[in-house]
């Protein structure tokens, strides 16, 4: 299934959206390690990966939106989804597959 998704720009965006959503949740899990237990490394590693995936998400969002002529509302919703835990998973089902 991933190979099929990776064939199109929208499919690649959906893969990055899923990875970004997972990294966001993992980043939330590493916060207690950092602030509760003083373990900085897991938060640093996951935070760096999440940051890179977030940037890729935003860049691909605008490229895919332009190529598919998405409305400003749809782009704004897709961007907002990246800021809310589980948002990219919801957006994949309700925004990116239509």
Expressed as residue numbers, the domain containing 51 is 11-94
Q: Cα–Cα distance between 20 and 56 in angstroms, integer? A: 9
Q: What average pLDDT does this structure show over 54-79?
A: 96
- Structural domain includes residue 4: no
Confidence of residue 1 (pLDDT cuts 50, 70, 90): low
- Note whether residue 88 is domain-resident: yes
**CA 72/CA 78 separation, integer angstroms:** 10
Residue 97 has pLDDT above 80, yes or no: no
Answer whether residue 6 shows pLDDT above 80: no
Q: pLDDT (tens digit, 9 = 90+) per residue, 75-93?
A: 999 999 999 999 999 999 9
Closest alpha carbon to 49 in 31, 24, 32: 24
Counting the structural domains of the chain, the total is 1
Residue 60 belongs to some domain of the structure: yes
- Rounded CA gap, 9 and 18, in Å? 14
The answer to whether residue 90 is domain-embedded is yes
Asked if 13 and 64 count as a contact pair (C-beta separation under 8 A), the reply is yes
Is 2 a residue whose pLDDT tops 80? no
pTM of the model: 0.89
What angle (nearest 5°) sits at the alpha carbon of residue 23, between those of residues 21 and 26?
115
Q: Determine what percent of the chain is predicted with pLDDT higher than 70.
A: 97
């Amino acid at each position: 299934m991933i190979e099929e998704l990776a064939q199109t720009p929208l499919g690649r965006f959906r893969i990055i959206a899923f990875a970004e959503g997972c990294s966001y949740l993992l980043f939330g899990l590493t916060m207690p390690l950092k602030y509760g237990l003083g373990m900085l490394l897991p938060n640093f590693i996951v935070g760096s990966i999440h940051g890179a995936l977030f940037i890729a998400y935003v860049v691909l969002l605008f490229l895919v939106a332009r190529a598919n002529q998405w409305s400003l509302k749809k782009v704004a919703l897709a961007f907002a989804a990246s800021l809310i835990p589980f948002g990219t998973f919801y957006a994949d089902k309700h925004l990116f597959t239509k």
